[in-house]
Structure 1
Amino acid sequence: MDISIKGEENGIGLSKRILQTDNYPIVFLTSNTQTGIVKEASELKPSAFLLKPFNEKELPIAIELAFSNHNKDIITSKKPLLKDSIFVKNGKMFERIKLTDILYIQADGSYSSIKTTSGNYTLSLNLSHFNEEINNGLFIRVHRSYVINLHNITSFDANSILIGDITVPISKQFQETFLEGIKKI
């Protein structure tokens, strides 16, 4: 958002109105480094600032960081995750994934691998942080490396869960929690 956008209001005012609707990541563009302007813009907690003139490589990097940090903020905030979806990076684009389309999430170090009905994605959050804030009854942890979508279970036994043709292990530590979750479906 250009802070000096032409029109009835500047980019800061327009961003305030946008943020009243939903919590979108904002990247401010400006050549104005006056303390008052920067302070006013900073109050909106933008994901990034780009000083003009910027080169063509800086903008995509700022946008990628904005979405990455935005997803982290959503997960680590005390607010619920997005209503019904999340954005994940797929190549150079960010794609919206409906939570109901997620089959399971697997730990991958400080990242999480998301398996959906349409493909695989990587989220730049570890499984613990992701699981802490999802807490919507749709997902449940069944193993230190797996969180599953309860509504996509095909079958299960004492040691594993079948989601389509994929087998996910259940650890003893999470068996009781899993069985309680199944009762709520």
Structure 2
Amino acid sequence: MNPLKILIVEDEVITAMDIQETLERADHQVTGIAQSYYEAMESVRRQVPDMALLDIRLQEGEDGIRLAKDITERYDMPIIFLTAHSEHDTFAKAKETAPAAYLLKPFRQKELALQIELAYHHFKLNKAAMPKSTTMEYLFLPINKGYEKIAKSDVLFMQAEGVYVKIFMLNESKPHLLSMNLGYLSQYFNDINFYRLSRSLLVNLSHLERIEKNHIYLRGFASPVVVPETNRADLLKHLTVVRTR
């Protein structure tokens, strides 16, 4: 197979170096070695890999499963867990992120190389089988008793309201109202710019212009969008923010 760009997230330095050596021996490129959630997200922002290898337990008690969810919500790539933990509860939680593989340490070098090739092969097959609209710039949505063409880049944000979803568009005063849930609709907006800010809010970060304590402001949309304060910190992790000292 063609060489892959792979991110390693592992807080044990010796183990990380062993993994890097194994990958490079198989002609893959390591885009970075991260030891924490923050380092991993920063590495992905600098260079998006084809795949990520994650340990489930990171330094200072950080959760690799949460990291996997946040990476796959923003970036289209397979995840492989490399962990020393085989408990059923841990595996059940990891399974919710739909990982491409779950390998126990100590790993065998040949097995790791084969699992990477197999995982990426299945990832490409599944992607090819997805509805074309998930990878296209335009969608036809059920609007006004027909199907109306919209540009995904013109979507500001989508907000769930019960069994409905409101779609707010650039330069349009009123939202479109669709009778479906946000979880279902969001699969058609898995592009890198769309970020699931909360269970009821999917935002196009390319239109984000200002962030405040409890609000965000989007281009061409006069009203602020309310953001729970507890979600603000997570949003900032997905952006390049210059902080005061």
Normalised TM-score (structure 2): 0.39
